Amino acid sequence: MPIEENHKILFEPVKIGPKTAKNRFYQVPHCNGMGHRWPRTMAEMRGVKAEGGWAVVCTEECQIHPSSDITPAPLMRLWDDTDLPIHELMVSKVQEHGALAGIQLVHNGLSVCNYMSRMVPIGPSAAATETSNSTQARAMDKSDIKEVRRWFREGALRARRAGYDLIYVYAAHGIMTLLYQFLLRRFNHRTDEYGGSLENRVRLLREILQDTKDTVGHDCAVAMRFAVDELLGEGGMQVSEAEDIVGMLAELPDLWDVNVADWSNDSRSSRFSDEGFQEGYIKFVKQTTSKPVVGVGRFTSPDTMVSQIKRGVLDFIGGARPSIADPFIPKKIEEGRSDEIRECIGCNLCTSGDTVAYPMRCTQNPTMGEEWRKGWHPEKIEKAGSDAKVLIVGGGPAGLEAALALSNRSYEVTIADSNSVMGGRVLQETGLKPLNKWKRVSDYRTYMLSTRGNVQSFVESALDASQILELGCSHVAIATGSYWKTDFVGAHHRSPTQAEAPDMICTPEMIFAGDDPGNRIMVYDDDHYYLGSAIAEHLAEAGKQVVLVTPDSEIASWTRNTLENGHIQVRLRELGVEIICNHAVGSVKKNSVTLECVFIGTEKNVEVDSVIPVTARESIDGLYEELNSRTEEWSDHGIKSITRIGDCYAPGPIAMAVYSGHQYARNLEATVDPDAQFKRENDFEIGKH
Ligand code: ADP
Ligand code: SF4
C-alpha cells in the first residue's frame, strides 16, 4: 500500500549537526535491563528497531566512569576501552539498516551508591545518595570538576571510536544525572562559580557541552537531553527557569531532546496520562532554538505525530515505549499499513526491566528481549510445518496471540470463546477506567485476525471436551484462563481462610461485571501489582467508601517497578481511599472484617458491606484435564496434541499470557533446540562477538 499523503512529512530527512537522519522517527535513549550484562540481547533489540525504520536509535544512559556505578542495574558503561566491543556491536547492528546510532553519556553524581566500584559518590554538594543506606556523596571540589570534564571528553572520544553518530550530554530525569543536580537549588548549595545564580548553576553543563562539541563535534552530532519541568512546583525545575536555560544554551547543541522529570513523570503510564501529554511543557523549546527538537509522549498515532510536526512542537517523533511495543511503526506508516501498528498500552511493564534488572519484556510485543536469545523477530515467523488445523479454545490474550501468530505461520486456525466478545481478562479489566487503554491488547489482535482468510473466530461458543474432540483439529490449545480465589490464599496466607459470612465476599469478576458491592467496601490486596489499587480507584470514583488493605508495608508495591506507585498513592488519597498496610485478613463476619497485624497479630475490626480479595488466581483447567483423561480417543479424531497455554497453564500478568500464546505458536511442529531456548551470554570477550 502507498504511504498516506499526509504522513509523508514524517519521512523527510532532518539534519542534526554533521549528520542527517533519514526520517523523523527517533528512538530516544531508554533503559532495557540488558545493557552491559546481556550485550547481544541488547544489540539485537536495537538492531531490530533500526530495521523497523527508526532513523536514530540510541543506547540507554551510559556511565562514563566507575564513580558513576549504578550496580545492580545492568546499564551501558564506557568506563574504559574494555567496554568498546559491546558498543561496537550495537553500533554495527543499528547502522546496518541505515540508522544513526546515538549514545547517552552520563555521570549519575549523588544518585548512585557505587556498590561495585566502592568509590565515594560525588555531587555538587555533600548529600545523602538517592538510595541512601547511609552512603553519602561528598561535595566536588575544583579538581573533581576538572576530572568530570575530562571523563566526559574521554567518554565522547571513546564513543566516537565505537562508531556512534550522535553523542548526548544528559541533564534530565531529576536526581538521576549529575549535570541536572548542578542545575537544581535543592542539590547545589555551592558558593563558588558553580553555584548560586542560574548562570553559575548552568556553568558545568555549558562547559561539558562545549567540551563535547570541541572534542567530537566536527564529525559527531552532539545532543542535549534536558528536563524542562520536574512537576514539583517551586521546589524543583519549572518551565519558567527552563526557558532561561534553553535560552542560554540554545544554539550550543546540535539537537534538543526535551521532556519532563522525573522518570515516573516522563514515562507516565496510560493510567495517568494520555498520548502527547508533555506538549504543554516542552512546546516553548522549538521557539527558543533553531536546532531540531525531539520529544516523547507515547506517540502511536501517525496523525498525532504529523500534527506535532506541522504545529511546530517537534522536529522528531521521539519514542521509547512505542518502539518497544512495535519496532516497525515507521515501516508500517511508510507502507500505508498504519492500521497494523501494535500500539503501546502504557502499562510500563517494560520499565521493570531496569528497576528489577532483567532483560525487559513487553505486554504487547512478546518478541521483545527474545530477538537474539530465541531468534524471534517481531515481523517474521517460520512458515507452518504442515497443513494441520489448529483449534484454540479461549480468546483471551493467550488465545488471541496464539491465533495471530499461527495465522502468520499460515496455519488454518479456529478460535472459539464462550463470551460474546473476544478478549478474556483484558476485556474484563479494561472496564475499570484506570486500565482503559489496555484494551489495545485485544483490539489489535481481534482486528488483525479479522483481516485473515485462514482464521475462523466464534464467539458465544463454550466448547466442552466432546465437542473439541469432534472438531478433529490436529492441534488444540486450551486457553481458558483463570479466576480470582476467594479463600484469601496469596503471597501472605498460604492456607485458606474461609469467610464465616460468604455473602460478604465480592470477587474482582463481580466488579468487572458491574455488580454493586455495597457502599463501604474493603479491597484486600495481596497481589501487589495493579489490580487491587485499580479496583479501589474505580470504586472510589463511583462514590463508594473504600478501604484498601495490604499485608505489605505499602500499597501496590510492585508498581514501583512500573513507575506508578507514587501516582497511585496520590490518586487514592485524593479520592479519599482509606489505606491500611501491614495487615492481613483474619476473619470475615457479617458486615465486618477482622484484620491482623502481620508482625504481632493484634486485631482490629473494620466494618464494611463487602470485601474483595485480590490475592491469587486459580487456573481454569478442568477442560484440559478431561481431554487428557481421554487420550485414547484422540487418534480417532486426528488429534495429535492438546496443550495448555496462558493463565490456564499458570496465571500471570497479561504479558506472560501473550508470551505463552506466542511461544506455543512459534514452537508448534517446529524443531526447537531446548538448549537454544536458554542461550546465555557468559562468554562476551573483546573480539569474540
Ligand atoms: P489468558 O490470559 O490465558 O488468555 P483469559 O482468562 O484472559 O486467559 O481468557 C480465557 C478466555 O477463555 C475467556 O474469554 C473465557 O470466556 C474463555 N473460555 C473459558 N472456557 C471456555 C470454553 N470451554 N470454551 C470457549 N471459551 C472458553
Ligand atoms: Fe508499552 Fe507496556 Fe510494552 Fe512498555 S510493556 S512498551 S508500556 S505495552
Cis peptide leading into residue 496 (ω within 30°): no
Reported as a pLDDT band with limits 50, 70 and 90, residue 679 is confident
Distance between CA atoms of 441 and 291, rounded to whole angstroms?
Answer: 37
| Residue 43 grid cell | 544489540
- Residue in the block written with cell 520536574: 230
Q: How far apart are the first and last CA of the chain?
A: 38
Q: Is the CB of 396 under 6 A from ligand 1?
A: yes
Reported as a pLDDT band with limits 50, 70 and 90, residue 385 is confident
What does the pLDDT average to over 48-71?
97
Q: Which ligand is nearest to the CA of 459?
A: 1
Q: Which ligand is nearest to the CA of 423?
A: 1
Q: Where are the alpha helices (DSSP H) in 217-340?
A: 239-249, 263-266, 279-282, 284-288, 302-310, 321-325, 329-334
| Residue 636 grid cell | 480417532
| Residue 74 grid cell | 545492568
Ligand 1 atom with the shortest distance to the CA of 646: 3
CA-only gyration radius of the chain, Å: 27
- pLDDT higher than threshold 90 for residue 680: no
Domains and their CATH numbers in the chain = 5-356 (3.20.20.70), 389-481+620-674 (3.40.50.720), 488-617 (3.50.50.60)
- pLDDT higher than threshold 90 for residue 58: yes
Ligand 1 atom with the shortest distance to the CA of 461: 25
What does the pLDDT average to over 391-418?
98
Q: Which ligand is nearest to the CA of 484?
A: 1
The pTM of the whole model exceeds 0.95: yes
- pLDDT higher than threshold 50 for residue 686: no
Reported as a pLDDT band with limits 50, 70 and 90, residue 688 is low
Residue 388 burial by Cβ neighbours in a 10 Å radius (0-12, 13-18, 19+): middle
Whether residue 169 contacts residue 205, with contact meaning beta carbons closer than 8 Å, is answered with yes
How much distance in Å is there from the Cα of 514 to the middle of ligand 1? 19
In 69-188, the DSSP E strands lie at 76-77, 100-106, 122-123, 127-128, 136-139, 166-171
Ligand 1 atom with the shortest distance to the CA of 394: 12
What does the pLDDT average to over 651-656?
98
Residue 289 burial by Cβ neighbours in a 10 Å radius (0-12, 13-18, 19+): buried
How much distance in Å is there from the Cα of 367 to the middle of ligand 2? 12
Q: What is the pLDDT of residue 134?
A: 86
Under the phi-then-psi rule, with left for phi > 0, alpha for psi from -120 to 50, and beta for the rest, what region is 126? beta
Whether residue 646 contacts residue 399, with contact meaning beta carbons closer than 8 Å, is answered with yes
Secondary structure, 3-state, 487-534: CCCCCCCCCCCCCCCHHHECCHHHHHCCCCCCCEEEEEECCCCCHHHH
Q: Report, as residue numbers or ranges, the catalytic residues.
A: 31, 170, 173, 266
DSSP 135-156: -EEEEP-HHHHHHHHHHHHHHH
- pLDDT higher than threshold 80 for residue 689: no
Q: What is the pLDDT of residue 1?
A: 86
- pLDDT higher than threshold 60 for residue 684: no
Distance between CA atoms of 408 and 381, rounded to whole angstroms?
Answer: 7
| Residue 134 grid cell | 547511609
How much distance in Å is there from the Cα of 479 to the middle of ligand 1? 6
- pLDDT higher than threshold 70 for residue 194: yes
Distance between CA atoms of 320 and 296, rounded to whole angstroms?
Answer: 8
Distance between CA atoms of 273 and 268, rounded to whole angstroms?
Answer: 6
* Probe target for ligand 1 pocket from 419, 461, 480, with the most ligand atoms within 8 Å of CB: 480
Q: Is the CB of 324 under 6 A from ligand 2?
A: yes
> What's the mean per-residue pLDDT of the chain?
96
Q: Which amino acid is at 234?
A: E
pLDDT in tens, 112-140: 999 999 999 999 999 999 876 788 999 99
